Structure 1
């Protein structure tokens, strides 16, 4: 009977799109070809990759172009003015804040007079991680990865030890290349024990190369033994007192697309048809033992896990509003054309005759044009200015509606005149939805960046890098800076009054100034400087003789 399928999943908010609805039965729409028609793709990845492609089209102002492939020919005239990209960039800017800083708890006590060895170790590790982040351009790579996460819902980091550089390298991958192998009964929040990074390489006729599939696989498994009945254990530098039987294997291979049969998914590609890559030192990358007991791949989701391994785009809830906005922009553009160059109806005008063809020439209206009208003639002008004004008001209404539903207030998008805000308190209230959005996005990432920094430490230990001692891994986290502008003068006045009145300590006041963006690197050093200056001032005043007045 051709019954329709109703499916609710992480990407069902795109089901209204013809290209996405076609993926309900596992077969992607031809508009998504050739990427999503590859036979090696897992069936459960079709909808995810289709969603990525649709979201990328919106980000690049190509949603109308993509819609023409689904039979909507009128979409070729669609006007797209970058509103989705603005929403993504705004959410990204507030997520990251002005600064990102690596913090190791306990490092702030390293300069105390009675500092413990643990505090000294925490401070040393904090400095090591910050030096690594600077060398590896961590803020720049975070910008690239997090924009993918905000737009598509997911981002992927890959860590690897580089002997030539003597440090861990960090790379970002498009989430469309990420294919974790998830067990049916596993918790979606659990870390997978097998991960593929795979993509298709197009053919190159000039070099005589056919289309290929490259698959980089990381897999946890027992340490290889000399005999089948002998279990091998290994003591890793980060857990010297706990023997482990697990290690991570790396495989990097290519397959010719012509050698793949239908039904062979990414996890089942034939090894006898594989061409394994080799490292510069000649090592074949076929189940290479990395001598670590974890997979050095970190998947970052944009939203808090609610039963799905993958995250959700910031644009998810406002996609239809963005479509309506583009359609209204298109109507407004058409109306502005008839307003700027109005349609004119002439009655009783004598048209000039073309001497060659003997036919009347088309009439055109230009500045200074004069028409001679017969008795009773008239000229009527079609005025569409009222419709244009209504459409422009409709555009603002839809944009405001989309901003509210995306939890990006108009003030955060820069569309509100600051003079229209009655008070700072009213501004703070209007930014409440943005606060909750940023808090939830940062919560979804907190443990992922803690995991990344843990892997950085362990890979340096495995590579026997200088300055990275063996032993337990120290907890480290990535702290994002404030996402909203602050009234620095008001905070300074508050600190001065609070410290002077003894309401809070000088240390608390210094931390408040740090949070407000004042260039204070170390709170304790700043307190020591202020205290030393006050002591010196007091001594000068005591040593100064009292002034006497002449009698």
Structure 2
């Protein structure tokens, strides 16, 4: 290129917002090796170096260790920078607003258990059953805590990762939050970067001299591949656990691979297909799990995480004795969920940290806090200028009771630094407001609004506009990810043949986040009460509004049934409209009483009646019946 050979290379990617920091990127955009040795490991792909370095730098800001990391390049002076937890506070605030006050698993149609018609009843009953099973599983598996762990990683680092697995001992699906720094998807050009067919989780294990273990690298791999012959646990010649194909003896004594139970072989192509319980179409692929470990000393070559030599690996053994060497999981999907913090750009896989746009402001805040700390020292212990001291033996120190003898022309002058300190503090407030504005976090969302200066309800709602757009965009990036997670949970329970899930049809479940804005509960309660009373709001809509306002309603359907069970005025109106006791009893959630047969009316005899006349002639009108209106 001639005259362009000395031009500076400008790197623009998902982490280029960190290029302003010399420790993160040099002229070629490469992170400083001494500060980020993990990103420079020989097995880490070059495309992931900047991502791993960005994760470590963001974690340092979150733990008030950015100055400690900067010391690696800038020397001991960098450690003097004050860090007061502003990045961590922003992360926790955004996390609380994204998740809301609570999270609920819902299955559309579960609220329609009273739908008339056998088909409607069957669909509603299935939806309600799946919803109950998912909620029970979430309570047992501590799903809210797992979500909190992963979502904090997503808000701070830009990415969160879940790993699902069927636990044969616990007899349920387990979900774990994984640090995205261990996550290495193999992204192909034609998959759009969203659903890779092979994913690695890899990390280094430090040397343990006490146990005689060398430095190692562990890699867990999920891979979608064509269905092969079944395998069984065994050992190789060195005694290491491996898997070998299951074979039978052929006509001439040669081993012949068998076909798995339920699998079908196409005689023309030899392709093996399998019909999964959640699909109506046979699938030719399955997911294989490999959990292997390598000694770092054995990796003498140009290897990365995707090309480690399997001949030098040792495989893990699961609790049920299965060797994790391409173990067929009997599913046709990867049980891995990647949750980006923001909606990724087109053809992009990674999300962006919520600190990305405000990180430079936090650097300015740290510098201003450091200057303010230094200025406060000179304000609390002022600087003095003394002249004309007559006693040369006096100690020139500012302390209580100090006395200095000055001559006729002696002078004592104090340097007042409080104006500079006042300006620095105002500058800190300006920077904090700037960070909140850029991050789209108004003062009411940060909790820094003075209650005595609170605006009207309408003005408060308008001020929350930027927060609404921020949370709406972040929840949009998560909605389909959690729907996919709940779908995988159902499929894994079916694959594990859990007895409670027998006969289940996979349902489109959703994870609904709770409200995040401050609400006027009394005003909303009055509004929904008046709306239901006047007939402009249904009870279902009213209950949904109360849940969004933060009222302690755990289940909308149960709450509606409890309300209807006490609505005797509505039941009376229903009886007048339908005249059907069964319908009214079903509305109240009770059993209709058995109606006794009405006895015939027998009138008492009069004084003029003759007992012998009790038997009337056929067709003769009984006596005493005329004119009797009873």
- TM-score, normalized by length of structure 2? 0.81
State how far apart, in whole Å, the 1-side matches of 2:358 and 2:189 are: 31
State how far apart, in whole Å, the 1-side matches of 2:207 and 2:6 are: 39
Which residue of structure 1 aligns with residue 549 of structure 2? 516
Which residue of structure 2 aligns with residue 163 of structure 1? 168
| Deviating more after overlay: 64-73 vs 224-233 | 224-233
State how far apart, in whole Å, the 2-side matches of 1:162 and 1:305 are: 33
For the pair 1:9 / 2:13, whether they are aligned, the reply is: yes
For the pair 1:242 / 2:246, whether they are aligned, the reply is: no
Alignment of 1:43-62 (within 5 A): 43-62=46-65
Structure number with the bigger relative contact order (C-alpha 8 A, sep ≥ 6) is 1
The alpha-carbon deviation at position 323 of structure 1 amounts to 0.4
Which residue of structure 2 aligns with residue 65 of structure 1? 68
Which residue of structure 2 aligns with residue 317 of structure 1? 357
Q: Tell me, yes or no, if the aligned pair for 1:346 and 1:377 is still in contact at 8 Å.
A: yes
State how far apart, in whole Å, the 1-side matches of 2:9 and 2:395 are: 55
Alignment of 1:101-112 (within 5 A): 101-112=104-115
Q: Tell me, yes or no, if the aligned pair for 2:387 and 2:410 is still in contact at 8 Å.
A: yes
State how far apart, in whole Å, the 2-side matches of 1:277 and 1:373 are: 84
Gap regions ≥5 residues in structure 2: 230-256, 259-264, 573-630
Q: Tell me, yes or no, if the aligned pair for 2:91 and 2:156 is still in contact at 8 Å.
A: yes
State how far apart, in whole Å, the 2-side matches of 1:314 and 1:160 are: 30
For the pair 1:30 / 2:63, whether they are aligned, the reply is: no
For the pair 1:258 / 2:297, whether they are aligned, the reply is: yes
State how far apart, in whole Å, the 1-side matches of 2:391 and 2:109 are: 90
Alignment of 1:121-520 (within 5 A): 121-189=126-194, 191-225=195-229, 226=257, 230-239=270-279, 241-307=280-346, 308-350=348-390, 353=393, 362-470=395-503, 472-520=505-553
Alignment of 1:536-547 (within 5 A): none
Q: Tell me, yes or no, if the aligned pair for 1:336 and 1:388 is still in contact at 8 Å.
A: yes
Alignment CA distance shift 1:113-1:523 (3 Å): farther
For the pair 1:88 / 2:128, whether they are aligned, the reply is: no
SS in 1 for 2:111: helix
Alignment CA distance shift 1:385-1:262 (3 Å): farther
SS in 2 for 1:116: helix
State how far apart, in whole Å, the 1-side matches of 2:519 and 2:37 are: 49
Deviation per residue, 1:411-460 (Å, 9 max, x gap): 11111112212211111111111111111111000011011001100000
Gap regions ≥5 residues in structure 1: 354-360, 540-551
State how far apart, in whole Å, the 2-side matches of 1:443 and 1:387 are: 46
The alpha-carbon deviation at position 505 of structure 1 amounts to 3.1
State how far apart, in whole Å, the 1-side matches of 2:286 and 2:217 are: 26
Which residue of structure 2 aligns with residue 545 of structure 1? none
The alpha-carbon deviation at position 111 of structure 1 amounts to 3.9
| Deviating more after overlay: 59-68 vs 517-526 | 517-526
SS in 1 for 2:23: helix
State how far apart, in whole Å, the 1-side matches of 2:202 and 2:503 are: 34
State how far apart, in whole Å, the 1-side matches of 2:437 and 2:355 are: 12
Alignment CA distance shift 1:503-1:246 (3 Å): same
Deviation per residue, 1:490-529 (Å, 9 max, x gap): 1112123323333333433233222222233444554454
Which residue of structure 1 aligns with residue 568 of structure 2? 535
Q: Tell me, yes or no, if the aligned pair for 1:351 and 1:362 is still in contact at 8 Å.
A: no
Deviation per residue, 1:323-350 (Å, 9 max, x gap): 0011001111110010001111111224
Which residue of structure 2 aligns with residue 548 of structure 1? none
Alignment CA distance shift 1:167-1:526 (3 Å): closer
SS in 2 for 1:94: helix
Q: Tell me, yes or no, if the aligned pair for 1:40 and 1:262 is still in contact at 8 Å.
A: no
State how far apart, in whole Å, the 2-side matches of 1:198 and 1:416 are: 45
Q: Tell me, yes or no, if the aligned pair for 2:155 and 2:354 is still in contact at 8 Å.
A: yes
State how far apart, in whole Å, the 1-side matches of 2:429 and 2:192 are: 43
Q: Tell me, yes or no, if the aligned pair for 1:144 and 1:172 is still in contact at 8 Å.
A: yes
State how far apart, in whole Å, the 2-side matches of 1:508 and 1:537 are: 18
The alpha-carbon deviation at position 208 of structure 1 amounts to 2.2
Q: Tell me, yes or no, if the aligned pair for 1:23 and 1:46 is still in contact at 8 Å.
A: no
SS in 1 for 2:20: coil
Alignment CA distance shift 1:483-1:164 (3 Å): same
Alignment CA distance shift 1:280-1:412 (3 Å): same
The alpha-carbon deviation at position 36 of structure 1 amounts to 1.6
Bigger CA radius of gyration: 2
- TM-score, normalized by length of structure 1? 0.92
Alignment CA distance shift 1:347-1:537 (3 Å): same
SS in 1 for 2:272: coil
RMSD: 2.1
The alpha-carbon deviation at position 371 of structure 1 amounts to 1.4
For the pair 1:42 / 2:45, whether they are aligned, the reply is: yes
SS in 2 for 1:254: strand
Tell me how many residue pairs correspond in the alignment: 530
Deviation per residue, 1:285-307 (Å, 9 max, x gap): 11111111111111110000213
Q: Tell me, yes or no, if the aligned pair for 1:249 and 1:287 is still in contact at 8 Å.
A: yes
